[in-house]
Every structure is written in structure tokens, then in C-alpha cells.
Structure 1
Amino acid sequence: MLRFRYLLFASGISLLLGATPATSVTERNFQKQFEQYGVEGSFLLYETGTGRFTAYNEKRCRQGFLPASTFKIPNTLIGLQTGALPDTATICKWDGVKRDFPQWNQDMSYARALRVSCVPCYQQLARQVGVGTYKQWLRKLRYPGILVTPATLDTFWLDGNSRISQFEQIDFLRRLQAETLPVEVRHQRAVKQLLLLQKTPGYALYGKTGWRFRSATNPDNGWFVGWVQRPDGRTALFVLNAEPAGGQAADTRFAAGRRALTEDILREIGWM
């Protein structure tokens, strides 16, 4: 009996260890690309076929940052799934307040609102969704580190204590790309279509930028997240997080640089 218990215990340990294999991460040096665009930060890539990660500044890839407008991806999914957003053709009415981004100062569909990162439209959606629904669906989506309160309902992804890491972004995007989130497949496909940025005979590029604007206590912080899919089905998910070098204020190069920098890296490692 004692021997049986020992074997059962040993078997259980083996199963446990086998269920949690070590993550394979290869470090690459992309400092040259970051310096070219006047930024510092980190980059993470995950290949779905092999399960391998490629990282520049892996330690930073595990740090949390405000999701900024990358949160429009789960936000749209939550809106569609709960009915707060009937469909992506639904019109968001301009509130008449003129903002620094002219493309925001008009009525627009939520499909366009996602593509131009219209913060006021998604603040309207947030007030429709509500605190309780967000908490419920963020748990279901396994989208961690997001703190929603009545006081921060329409700003929690832009300011405050919400944080998500690049590894956590990859985990969420991987499940969206595979359409395995606990959301109706038609909603996942609708959002994926909005994220399609470029399609060529050799690849399709999906992505979303994000920008946490500079404040008295925080630097500018930018994201570019998404994936590259080949015609044969091979897929690589990527997450860039970057800030202007030396704590400087962001300039026009920073706005366009997040995507351009990511594409330079993807070309170097053979995905574009």
C-alpha cells in the first residue's frame, strides 16, 4: 500500500511538471531599430507553430503598462458580446467638443472609431457597458491587471493603476487570432477584420496601436500589437512597447514609429 501511494504521488508530480513546460524565450538584440526611431523599450514575438518566443529586453516584456488604445480590442469584443454595441456599423454621435485630433470631431461608426482610435467614442461605450459587466468579462477573457471602478469607468485603460504586460497581451491576442475566446465567433471575426492593416501575396498584417499620453508623472508610452499570418497558416504574434528615449516628449516620429519599427524587426527576422 505504501509503495502504491508513493507511485501515485510520483505520477502526480510528473503529470504536474509535464503540464507546465518551461517557456522557450530567445533573446535578440534590436537596439539598432529602436535607436533609429529615437525610442527605448521592448519587443516580444510568439510563433504559434513552435511555441517559441523571441524577445528584446525580456525583463521589460514582463512589466505592466497601461493598455491605452490596445484595450479597444477587448472593449469592442465585450461591447458586441453583451449587446452594449449592436454591431461595428453602429454610429457614435460626436458630442460637439472639439479635440486635438480632427478625425475624432465627427459622427462615425465604431468600425472607424477603432481604426482612428477615437477615445470619446469608446468612453461612450464604456458608460454603456458598466463596471460590473467589465469585471465579469475581463475575468472571462482572462485579460488581467485591469482595475475598473465607478470613478474610472471611462478612463481606466488610459490612466490610473491598470497594467498589462507584453506576455499577457500575447496570450490574449493568441486566443483571439485562433478564435477561442469565450465570445461568439462572429464577433471575434468582426474585430479581426477591423485589425487587418495590410494584405499581400506573402502575408497579412493585423494590428492596433496604443498611446498613453505624457503627463506630469508619466512619460509617453506606446504600443503596437497584432500578428502576421502567412498563406500556409503559419502565424507570429507580436507586441511592441516603447517610449521616447531619455524621457523626452513624443514627436511626430514617435506616432508613426511604433508600426514602422515593428515592421523593420519583422522583416529582419523573416516574417515580412
Structure 2
Amino acid sequence: MRFVCLLTLVLLFSAAAPARLAPKIVERNLQPHFEKYGVQGSFLLYDAPAGQFVAYNPARCRQGFLPASTFKIPNTLIGLQTGALPDTATLCKWDGVAREFPQWNQDMSYGRALRVSCVPCYQQLARRIGVEQYRAWLPRLRYGRMAVAPATLDTFWLDGNSRISQFEQVDFLRRLHAETLPVAARHQRAVKQLLILKKTSEYTLYGKTGWRFRSATNPDNGWLVGWITRADGRTALFALNIEPKGGQAANNRFMGARRAITESILQELQWL
């Protein structure tokens, strides 16, 4: 009888307990930052101390896009965890094919390959990881909705049906920043070090760009995802996604616009 009463109290308390609320979303008009570079897009920031999101174009922040080279973050983690990549100092041998970006046309470590966003190096890594390992690990990492098949093994993050939203990017980065992904902590720390874009006495800025190149069916689409940690310990995680206006081809400013827009927004939001 005593057990039944105790169980009843527990059930009543559980029913009365408030559900955990989703973080608040504060909308900001950040359009002038995009207009300056002739692009359209959206921006999402998770203010960790405040426990809330700041968003420009939040509906678009929920849309899925190909991850492009932002996928190098989970790709490196999966490579390290499975042993397909012994460490980030492992050499990627140039295959001798001259490509549009001269910095890709050389042997380099995978640490450098991530920093210069060398697609051919990571295609080599994808072929070593294999379809089955991706299908096992991507759900565990909760990284968007990746469509991996044998025919698309070395392109599925660049073309096809894979998608990830800005909310999903930020959620993944929150877990990487906290080192709570189901991957060895040493691998998470190694990848985090590779993502450092700038370090000052006041803050450290982490990030990874991505660019889905224009095709007959898709516009140019650019990413910058990452986080900023202030010297006082405050952290904000962010995801920017942009496209040229009106479906036009990317111009010479598009590549630099991703970081320039992100930094100008972080300044307005008083993180830089």
C-alpha cells in the first residue's frame, strides 16, 4: 500500500511538472549586411549564456541545404573515429589532376586540407570510410539528413538529396563544442583546433566555410558555420547561409562575403 501511494505521488508530480521549453527565438533585421554584398540568405546564432536564438529569416534557417564543405567537420570526425584517417597530420597525396584552386594541387596534410577546403582530399577519405560506416555514424552524430549511396559515396555532401538546416548545424556544433558527440574526446579536440579562424586576447573565432557550386539545377550556395568564445567564457554558435540574389551566378565577392557578413553581424550583436 505504501508503495502504491508513493508511485501515485510520483505520477502526479510528473504530470504537474512543466515541459522543458524550447529556446526562445529573437528575430533581428540583419538584411543590410547581406545587401552590402548583393546576396540573400539567413543567419542563426545561439546565445549560450542567454539560452536563446537570434535569427534573421528564421523560416529559411529551418530549410535544408547541401552541406558542401561544412561536411568536412563530421567527415574528419568519422575518419578519425573509424581509423580511416589515422590523424590529421596524415598526408593526402595529390592525384596529379590540376584543378581550379591552385592550393589543392599539391600533397598536404588533412589538417591543411580542411583549412583550404580541399575537396579531392576528402573524396579520397570518403572512399576509405565507405557507405556502411557513413550509414552507421551519421545518424549517431545527428547530422542532418545525408543521402549516402555507393554511386554517390564521394559526392553526397556536394550534390543530390542530402540536406541540413542552420538549426541542425548549430545543434551539431553545440555538441562538438561541448565534446559530447559519440566520438573520442581527443578527436573532437583535434577537429576543434583545426577550426580556429582567429584568436585574440578577447575572443577565439572558430568556423568552416562551404560552397555548393552553381549547376543547371542549383544556385551557388554558401555557408559559414562555427562559434565564438569570449575571454570571459561566454560562447555563441552560429550558421550563415547565403545565395546570390535572383539566382544569378556568384561574383568575385561571394567567396569573401561569407566571413565578412558573419563578422559584421557578430559585431552588431556585440560578440566581436
- Tell me the CA shift for residue 246 of structure 1: 1.3
Q: CA deviation at 1:194?
A: 0.5
Residue in 2 that maps onto 1:77:
77
1:183 matched residue in structure 2: 183
How far does residue 91 in structure 1 lie from its aligned partner after superposition? Answer: 0.5
Q: Deviations over 1:226-261 (max 9, x none)?
A: 001011211000100000111110011000000000
Deviations 1:108-162 (A, max 9, x none): 1001100010000000000000001011111111112111010110000000000
Q: Are 1:215 and 2:208 matched, yes or no?
A: no
Aligned to 1:136: 136
Cα distance, 1:182 vs. partner?
1.0
Q: Which runs of 5+ in 1 are unaligned?
A: none
Summarize deviations over 1:168-197 as a string: whole Å, max 9, x none: 000000011111111111111110100001
Q: Which is worse superposed, 4-13 or 244-253? A: 4-13
Instruction: State the partner residue of 1:114.
Output: 114
Matched-pair contact (CA < 8 Å) for 2:212–2:221: yes
User: In structure 1, what is the Cα distance between the partners aligned to 2:265 and 2:101?
Assistant: 29
Displacement of 1:5 in angstroms is 9.2
Deviation at 1:8, TM superposition (A): 6.3
Q: For 2:8 and 2:245, locate their aligned partners in 1 and report how far apart those are by CA, in whole Å.
A: 57
The one-letter code of the counterpart of 1:141 is L
SS at match of 1:252: coil
Residue correspondence of structure 1 range 140-179 to structure 2 within 5 A:
140-179=140-179
Structure 1: distance between partners of 2:261 and 2:77? 28
Q: Matches of 1:66 and 1:233 in 2, distance apart?
A: 32
Residue in structure 2 matched with residue 227 of structure 1 by the alignment? 227
Query: Displacement of 1:49 after TM fit?
Result: 1.9
CA distance in 1, matches of 2:144, 2:58: 19
| Partner Cα separation in structure 2 for residue 201 and residue 4 of structure 1 | 55
Amino acid at match of 1:259: R
Letter aligned with residue 192 of structure 1: K
In 1, the alpha carbon distance for the partners of 2:14 and 2:152 equals 45
In the alignment, what sits opposite 2:205? 205
Query: 5+ unaligned residues in a row in structure 2: which ranges?
Result: none
Pair 1:104 & 2:87 matched: no
What is the root-mean-square deviation in Å for CA atoms of aligned residues?
Answer: 1.7
Counterpart-to-counterpart distance in 2, 1:233 and 1:80? 28
What TM-score results when the alignment is normalised by the length of structure 2? 0.95
Aligned length: 270
- Provide the secondary structure at the position in 2 that maps to 1:163: coil
After superposition, give the CA deviation of every residue in 1:18-64 in whole Å (9 maximum; x if it has no partner): 2x313300000000000001100000000122211000000000000
Amino acid at match of 1:218: N
